[in-house]
Structure 1
Amino acid sequence: MDFQTSQSNQASQSPHTFQVDLRGLVDLLSHHLYSSPKVYLRELLQNAVDAVTARRAEQPGAPARVRVRTDGGGLRVEDTGVGLTEADVHALLATIGRSSKRADGIAAARSDFLGQFGIGLLACFLVAERIRVVSRSARAPDARPVEWTASDDGSYTVRTLPDEERREPGTTVYLTARPGAAEWLAPARVLELARDFGSLLPYDVTVDGETVGELPAPWDRAHPSPAARRVALARHCHGLFGFTPLDAIDLSVPLAGLRGVAYVLPSAVSPAQRARHRVHLRGMLLTERAEQLLPDWAFFVRCELDTDSLRPTASREALYEDETLAAVREALGGRIRAWLTGLAAGDPERLRTFLRVHHLGVKSLARHDGEMLRTMLPWLPFETTDGEVSLEEFAQRHPVVHFTRTVEEFRQVAPIAAAQGIGVVNGGYTYDGELVEALPSVRPGTAVAELDADTVTAHLDPVGPAEELALSDFLAAARTVLDPLDCDVSLRAFHPVSVPALHLDDRASRHERDRAEAQARADDLWAGILGSLRGGAPRARLVLNHLNPLVRRIGSLKEPDLIGTAVQSLYGQALLMAQRPLRPADSALLNRAFIGLLEWATHEEGGRS
C-alpha cells in the first residue's frame, strides 16, 4: 500500500458529527414521544422547579418562586433557581440530550430533579417558533447574565448581557408562539395546564398572579373527624375523576416515598377495562393514565398519589416497568387487601355495600389468596339453589357442595335440584367455579363435587316396574326418535309437577358429542384417530316426569307419528327451559315438531268439520 492510499484511508475513517434536523426532531417529538403539545408547560415548570431545587441544595435560604406570565401570544416563565453561565448555556442548551442533572455538584442531588433541562426545553418547540432564555448563575456571582435565543429552524445565538438585564440569580424563558399554536399560550389554557400539572409542587408557583399549588395534598390535610375527612376526599374525587366514591383508601409506602389515596368506584366496571390513575412525581403530575400501578384485581379503584422514587419513561408521561414499580404495585395491593380485611372485621355494613357492587374484584383476589378467601367467605355472594348466599352459609346447610361449570347447566337443573334437596352452586360466572373448588383448602372437611347427570337422576324417584312396563312401547319409540341426537330417554317421578321433561347434558356427554361431530367432518386419517379416542362417556338424557299430566297423556298415544312429534316437542321445550344454545340439528327438530303439531291440529279440525 503506498503512502497516498494510506493517507486516503485515514481521511475516510476520521469521525464526523451528526447533523440534527431540528424541525424533523420536533415533528418526531410531537407525533411519537409526547401525547400532546400541552407537555411544553410541564417541561418549563419542571426546569424551573429543578433549578430552584438545585439552588436551595447549596443555599437553603434562597427564594423559591416560579412566575408564569402570558403576554399577547407569548409566554414568560421566571424562576429564582440556580441559573446558568455562558459555559453552561453552550454545554446544555446547544447540545441535544445533554442534561444539567449531570453537572458537577448536582449529581449527588439528582433524585430531587424531575426532568432534563436540554431535552425538556426542546419540547417547547412543539408550540413555539422562537425561544429566548435569559439566565444568571447563582454559583458564579461575578458572571454577567447570558442570553440564548433559538429558532425552530435549528439556529441559535448566545451573548452576554449587561448586569441590569438581570440582577438576581435565576432564569427567564420567553416563548413566541408558532403559527397555529397560539391557543396553547392563551391565559386560560396556561392556567388550566399549570393547575393540572403543578397542583402539588412544593414551591410558590403562580400564573398571572393566581396561585397554582394546593398544598398540603388532599390526603395530608387535617380534618376535625374521620367523617369530615371522608367528605372532603369524596369532594376532591368528584372534582378530579367525576364520581363520588363509595370509600377512600389511604395509600402509603414510606420506602418508596409514596403517599396518596385510592377511591372506590360507585358502580361496577369490567375487569378487562384498564384502570387509569394519576401519578405525581415529586409534586409534578407525571401521568393521569398510569395503568400498571395496581394489581389487575384492583380494577374497582382509581388512585391519585405522589412519589419520589418511581422512574418515568423518556416522555415522562408513564411509569417505567422495573423492580421498584413491581414492589410498589405489590405494596399498594397489600394496602387495599388490608382495607377489605378491616371492613370485614369492623364495618360489615360498608363491606356489604361494597360487595354489592364490586364482588367480582374481590373474587378475583380471593382465588389467588387463601387468606382473603377465608376472610371473605361469610360475605361473598354466590347464586345457588338456596338463593343468593355466601359459600360459608351454603356449606353449613349441605353436606356436599355441588356446582355446575356453566350458567346453562345451573338453569337447567336448579328447579329440579332444589325440589329434590340437592344443593347446587352456579359456578358458571367469572371466578365462581374456581372458588368453589378451592373451598376445601380454606374450610377443611367440606365436600365439593361437580354436578353431573347421574347425580341428578339418582335423586329422582323411580317409577314402579308395572307402570314403566305399561309405557315400554312409548319409551322405545321416544328413544328411537332422539337417538340421532345422541340423547337417551328415561322415566322418573319428580317435583315440581309442572315440569314435563328435564334435559341433562353434562360436560362429559358434550365432550363426547363434540368428538363425534369432529370425527364425522374429518378425513379418513383424523377420523380414525378421533374414533380411537371414543370413550364410555354418557350421552345426554331426556328425563320424562311421570307425575306430569301431559306426559301421562302423551304416554297413552298410539299413533307412531304423533308420538314422535310429541317427544320432539318435549325435547325442544326442555332445551328452551335450560336456555342452552341450540345446535342446527336441535333447531331443525324444533321446526319439525312445530310443523307436525300444526298439521295434526289442522287435520283433526278438518276431520271434525
Structure 2
Amino acid sequence: MDHRFQINLTGLIDLLSNHLYTRPDVFVRELMQNATDAIHARCQLAPQHQGSIHIHLDDDAQAVTFVDNGIGLTEAEMHRFLAVIGESSKRGEWVGQTQDYIGQFGIGLLACFIVADQIELVSRSAADADAPTLRWSGRPDGTYDIGEAPPRTEPGTSVRLVCKPAFQHLFSLDTLRESAQHYGGILPWPIDLVHLGQNNRVNTSERIDAFPWDASHLPHTQQRQYWIELGERMLGAEIFDAIPLESTVGGVDGIAFVLARASLQSGRNRHHVYLKRMLLSDSVDNLLPSWAFFVRCIVNCTDLHPTAARNAFSEDDKLRLTQAELGHCLRRYLINLAEQEPQRLQQLLSYHHVALKALALEDDEFFKLFAQWFPLETNYGNTTLQEYLKRNQQILYTQKVDEFRQIAQIAAAQHIDVINGGYIYDAELLARHGELFPLVPVRSVQPSDISHELQGLSPDQEARYQPFLKVAATVLEPFDCRPKLKIFEPADLPTLFISNREATINRQVDHCTEVADDLWQGVLVQLQSEAKSELCFNFGHTLIRRLAQHPDLALVERVIQVLYVQSLLMGHYPLGRSELAMMSDGLSGLLEWSVMGTKGTATWH
C-alpha cells in the first residue's frame, strides 16, 4: 500500500526563514518576482501590453498590497500553483517558455508567511475575457479557501499581507522603498510605492528600459569612465578598470569591475547578479571561473538556473559553459592590455598578480604571454622573470619560503641567483616554464644543494682540525646534525645550518614527539629517516679559526652550542625543547666563564 508524505507547513516556513533566505525582506523579492512573471506571461498574449507594479502601504503601515497587471490566475491555477508546495506556474502551464520566467520552485508565497499570518490574493485571469475575479486566502496551518471577489476592471493580481508585530519594521515606507529598489530597481516597467495618497516611483532611472551599465548613448572614449563611476557607486569600492561581459549560453550581459586593491585568493568575490532584470542576489559567488577573483561583476542573466536560496547558480553544464565564455572575455581584455597598454598592465599586476598566476597555470597561451611580467622575489631583490632570465641561463628556485630564507644570504654571497618559489603558484609556474620552454633549465634547490658550492679545507687542514670536529660532532649528535668545516662568503657569517627536506621532516617529528604521549611517540618514530642536517663552520671567520684551536674544551663546547642555536634562528627554524634548553645552558656557561674566568680542565686529544 502506498502512503503519501505529510508536510508540516509551519515547520517548512521556519526552515525557509531561518535557513534558506538570507534577508528578512525576501517576501518583497518573491512578490515582485511573481508579478514580473505574470507580466511576462501577459506580454506573450499581448506584445504591446505595458506592465506595471504598484505597492500600496496602508495608512497605518500595518499591511501592504502588491498589485500587478499581469496574466492573473484561474481557479484551477490557484488550486494547483498556490496550494501545492513545489509546483511551479512557470513550467509551461502559462504561455511562453520556461526560461521566460524567473521563478522555478513554486515556493515564493511561503516567504510571505514569514512576515504575515495570512495571505489574501485577489486575481482575474487575462486568458478569458469572462473570467471572474477570485479571492484566495491562505493560512500557515496549510488551509485555504477560494471565493469570488468584487470584480477587477483590469486583469491581474493583488497580494495583501498584514504584518506580524515582530516584523513591523519591514513595513515602514523607507524600508519598503529600499527593498523594492534593491530587488526591482532595473525592471523595465514602472514600480510605484503608494502611501498616504503619495506616489513614490521606485525605479527612477530615465532610461527604464536600459540596463544601468548600458553606455551605448556615450562616445566610446567616455564609456570606460562611465562604467568605473557606476561600479564605484554600486559596489562601494575603488575601481581600476571595467570589462564588458557577454555570454550567449547563459544570456549574460554586464560589466566586470577590476578592483583597485589586492584580492584575497582564499575566497571568491561576490557578484551583483540580476535574473531577467530582477535582482537575484548581490552575493553570487560562482558566476565566474575560480581564478577570476580580481573582479566583481554587475550582470543580468536570462538563461541560468538559480539555487533555491537564490544566492548562487546551479552547478550544471550551462553554468560551466557560461563561466568559460565569461573567462574568455577576461582573457581577451588582459591580452589587449598587454599588447596596447603595457604600463596599465604593470599597474594591474601590482594588485592582482596572484589571480593572473592562477590563470596562467590553466592557460598555456596566457602563460607564454604573461609569464615574463610576473613579479618574483629573489635573493637579489624583487624582479620579474624577464629580468631574472637576463641575468641567468637557468632558473633556480626553492619550493618553500623557509628554504629560501635559509639559503638567500649564503647563495647571494656565492653569486647564486635563487627565486623564492614558496609564494602561492610561484613554484608551479616555474616548473611549468621548464615544460613550455625546455631550452631554459629549471631546477628546484634545497639548502643542502648550496653546501656543495662551499669551499672545503685542504687535506692537511682537515686532518689538523679533526679534534675540533669530534667535539662538535659530540655536541650536535643529539640533534642528528653533522659538523663541517668550510670556507664561504659572507665572511662575517660564522656558521650555516643546512637541512634537506627529509632532515627537516625529522626535526618536525622530534618536536612533535616531545609533546606526544607514548602511543603517538611510537607512531612518529616510524616516520623518521636516516637523513641528517649539517652545521657548516666558516673557517674564513676569525671566531671559528680561534675556536678550532682553543685549548679550553668546555668553552669550545659552550660556544658550539650557542652557534648551533644561532644558526637555527638565522635560518628561521623553530626551536625544540632540547634546543631551547641547550641555548640556555650554553649562554649560562659563557656568562660564567666570562665573569669567573673559569677554564675547563679537559684538553684536545
The answer to whether residue 503 in structure 2 is matched with residue 542 in structure 1 is: no
- The partner residue of 1:239 within 233, 239, 244 is 233
Secondary structure at 1:445 match in 2: coil
Distance in 2 between the 1:184 and 1:270 partners?
34
Distance in 1 between the 2:416 and 2:427 partners?
17
Distance in 1 between the 2:524 and 2:295 partners?
54
* 1:557-568 correspondence to structure 2 within 5 Å: 557-568=550-561
* 1:267-416 correspondence to structure 2 within 5 Å: 267-416=261-410
The answer to whether residue 131 in structure 2 is matched with residue 143 in structure 1 is: yes
Secondary structure at 1:158 match in 2: strand
Secondary structure at 1:365 match in 2: helix
The farther-off stretch of 272-281 and 498-507 is 272-281
- The partner residue of 1:133 within 105, 117, 121 is 121
- The partner residue of 1:481 within 448, 452, 475 is 475
- Give 1:271 shift: 1.8
The residue that corresponds to 1:47 in the other structure is 34
- The partner residue of 2:189 within 192, 203, 218 is 203
The residue that corresponds to 2:165 in the other structure is 179
The letter for the 2-side match of 1:288 is: D
Quick one: structure 1 residues 195 and 599, their matched pair in 2 at CA, closer, same or farther if it must change by over 3 Å? Answer: same
Quick one: structure 1 residues 572 and 33, their matched pair in 2 at CA, closer, same or farther if it must change by over 3 Å? Answer: closer
- Give 1:375 shift: 1.6
The residue that corresponds to 1:38 in the other structure is 25
Distance in 1 between the 2:237 and 2:511 partners?
51
Distance in 1 between the 2:524 and 2:193 partners?
79
Secondary structure at 2:406 match in 1: helix
The farther-off stretch of 334-343 and 242-251 is 334-343
The answer to whether residue 57 in structure 2 is matched with residue 64 in structure 1 is: no
Gaps of 5+ in 2: 195-199, 601-605
Deviations 1:566-606 (A, max 9, x none): 11222222111111222333222222211111111111299
The letter for the 2-side match of 1:456 is: I
1:33–1:315 CA contact under 8 A, matched in 2: yes
Quick one: structure 1 residues 387 and 223, their matched pair in 2 at CA, closer, same or farther if it must change by over 3 Å? Answer: farther
The answer to whether residue 111 in structure 2 is matched with residue 123 in structure 1 is: yes
Deviations 1:192-236 (A, max 9, x none): 111111122222222233132644223322364556333332332
The answer to whether residue 584 in structure 2 is matched with residue 591 in structure 1 is: yes
The letter for the 2-side match of 1:392 is: Q
1:219–1:250 CA contact under 8 A, matched in 2: no
Gaps of 5+ in 1: 1-12
Distance in 2 between the 1:550 and 1:497 partners?
11
1:366–1:373 CA contact under 8 A, matched in 2: yes
- Give 1:444 shift: 2.3
Quick one: structure 1 residues 102 and 415, their matched pair in 2 at CA, closer, same or farther if it must change by over 3 Å? Answer: closer
1:132–1:147 CA contact under 8 A, matched in 2: yes
Quick one: structure 1 residues 495 and 605, their matched pair in 2 at CA, closer, same or farther if it must change by over 3 Å? Answer: same
Distance in 2 between the 1:34 and 1:26 partners?
10
Quick one: structure 1 residues 493 and 76, their matched pair in 2 at CA, closer, same or farther if it must change by over 3 Å? Answer: same
Distance in 1 between the 2:92 and 2:326 partners?
35
The letter for the 2-side match of 1:203 is: W
Secondary structure at 1:572 match in 2: helix
Deviations 1:268-326 (A, max 9, x none): 24322243222211111112222222222222222221111111223434321211112
The letter for the 2-side match of 1:286 is: L
The residue that corresponds to 2:603 in the other structure is none
1:86–1:160 CA contact under 8 A, matched in 2: no
1:519–1:530 CA contact under 8 A, matched in 2: no
- Give 1:53 shift: 0.8
1:47–1:117 CA contact under 8 A, matched in 2: no
Distance in 2 between the 1:560 and 1:338 partners?
70
Quick one: structure 1 residues 586 and 402, their matched pair in 2 at CA, closer, same or farther if it must change by over 3 Å? Answer: farther
Which has a greater percent of helix?
1
TM-score (ref. length: structure 2)? 0.89
Distance in 2 between the 1:347 and 1:103 partners?
50
Distance in 1 between the 2:170 and 2:155 partners?
28
- Give 1:27 shift: 2.4
Quick one: structure 1 residues 395 and 145, their matched pair in 2 at CA, closer, same or farther if it must change by over 3 Å? Answer: same
Quick one: structure 1 residues 403 and 104, their matched pair in 2 at CA, closer, same or farther if it must change by over 3 Å? Answer: closer
- Give 1:557 shift: 1.1
Distance in 2 between the 1:261 and 1:81 partners?
31
Deviations 1:9-33 (A, max 9, x none): xxxx6x8877655434322332233
Distance in 2 between the 1:605 and 1:564 partners?
14
Distance in 2 between the 1:436 and 1:196 partners?
46
2:250–2:319 CA contact under 8 A, matched in 1: no
- Give 1:469 shift: 4.3
- Give 1:347 shift: 1.6
The residue that corresponds to 1:23 in the other structure is 10
1:399–1:447 CA contact under 8 A, matched in 2: yes
Distance in 2 between the 1:117 and 1:524 partners?
52
Distance in 1 between the 2:522 and 2:228 partners?
63
Distance in 2 between the 1:92 and 1:498 partners?
84
Secondary structure at 1:412 match in 2: helix
1:402–1:423 CA contact under 8 A, matched in 2: yes
Deviations 1:318-367 (A, max 9, x none): 32121111221222222222222222222222222122222222222223
Quick one: structure 1 residues 276 and 517, their matched pair in 2 at CA, closer, same or farther if it must change by over 3 Å? Answer: closer
Distance in 2 between the 1:144 and 1:530 partners?
83
Secondary structure at 2:469 match in 1: helix
1:519–1:527 CA contact under 8 A, matched in 2: no
1:343–1:350 CA contact under 8 A, matched in 2: yes
- Give 1:517 shift: 8.9
The answer to whether residue 484 in structure 2 is matched with residue 490 in structure 1 is: yes
Deviations 1:451-484 (A, max 9, x none): 2455423322333444444433323322222222
The farther-off stretch of 143-152 and 279-288 is 143-152
Deviations 1:122-177 (A, max 9, x none): 321211223222222222112332222334444433222444xx212222222211
The letter for the 2-side match of 1:39 is: V
2:268–2:285 CA contact under 8 A, matched in 1: yes
Quick one: structure 1 residues 416 and 317, their matched pair in 2 at CA, closer, same or farther if it must change by over 3 Å? Answer: closer
Deviations 1:394-432 (A, max 9, x none): 233223322222222211211111121112111222222
Quick one: structure 1 residues 119 and 471, their matched pair in 2 at CA, closer, same or farther if it must change by over 3 Å? Answer: closer
1:92–1:117 CA contact under 8 A, matched in 2: no
The residue that corresponds to 1:4 in the other structure is none
2:249–2:322 CA contact under 8 A, matched in 1: no
2:190–2:201 CA contact under 8 A, matched in 1: no
Deviations 1:372-391 (A, max 9, x none): 22222221111112311122
Q: CA RMSD in A?
A: 3.1
The residue that corresponds to 2:197 in the other structure is none
The residue that corresponds to 1:193 in the other structure is 179
Deviations 1:70-96 (A, max 9, x none): 122211211111122344334433444
The residue that corresponds to 1:76 in the other structure is 65
Distance in 2 between the 1:120 and 1:213 partners?
26
2:213–2:230 CA contact under 8 A, matched in 1: no
Secondary structure at 1:25 match in 2: helix
The farther-off stretch of 547-556 and 215-224 is 215-224
Quick one: structure 1 residues 139 and 490, their matched pair in 2 at CA, closer, same or farther if it must change by over 3 Å? Answer: same
The residue that corresponds to 2:101 in the other structure is 113
Secondary structure at 1:341 match in 2: helix
- Give 1:513 shift: 5.8
